[in-house]
Chain A
């Protein structure tokens, strides 16, 4: 997880386009200036960043379905539940599934687990548009390569929550 670049996903560990599901891993860094302020003496992963990590996980699923022809932009967050504290150093197991594919929009349900226990979930709506700039599309392809998207078949079997430790990005 590279908080300073807002890249919150370390690895896509499973992608099933037929079932319209994705699984990802992300390790929260042990230190960050964010945790100095949130909160002094009691560092916590901000809930908005947990929501963003669910949005990014969902986004990769949508990009997989649209084959890099559409960029999903987060439009709505519904029923976001932050069930327990999430701390620096913990590893997130994220899953997302499509619950509706409309015309120009997609709705997903995403869940974060830590150690097999759900810590956050939300329903997310995305507007889908053609990539507004070719540089964005190129940039997303670079990120995709860095996080193993789409995952190779040998990695797909690791897609269970709490499974293999994700590769860390530097």
Chain B
């Protein structure tokens, strides 16, 4: 069974045509990988489907816009995967 990171990295590689070996846990989806908001919708769709969750993108965007969170908290892949794991765990609770 692949890890959350492997699944997410494969989704990003396939969706955005980014070489898989350049996608690291410490990569920032926007700043390092150059993923724009439209591509991120496709990624969110694939993540939602793969994990049976609904990434709260609107809430995250609002928190960043309000200065209550940084983009690193949501878009560095390690952090993103931790949040996915949290959403999966909450779904099963």
Where the two chains meet, the residues of A that have a C-beta atom closer than 8 Å to any C-beta of B are 75-76, 100-105, 107, 125, 127
Contact = CB atoms under 8 A, between A and B. Distances in A.
A103 B42 contact: no
Contacts of A105: 41, 44-45, 57
Contacts, number: 35
Given A100-B45, A103-B55, A104-B58, 14 more contacts: A75-B38, A75-B41, A100-B48, A101-B54, A102-B45, A102-B48, A102-B57, A103-B44, A103-B54, A104-B61, A105-B44, A105-B57, A107-B45, A125-B41
B57 to A, nearest CB: 4
A102 B44 CA distance: 8
A105 B56 CA distance: 11
> Interface residues of B: mostly helix, strand, loop or mixed?
helix
Contacts of A101: 54
B41 A76 contact: yes
Nearest to B62: A104
A105 B38 CA distance: 10
Nearest to A125: B41
A74 B33 CA distance: 25
A79 to B, nearest CB: 13
A75 B40 CA distance: 12
A127 B48 CA distance: 16
Nearest to A101: B54
A103 B45 contact: no
A104 B41 CA distance: 9
Interface string B48-69: 1100001111110100000000
Given A102-B54, A102-B57, A104-B58, A127 B49 contact: no
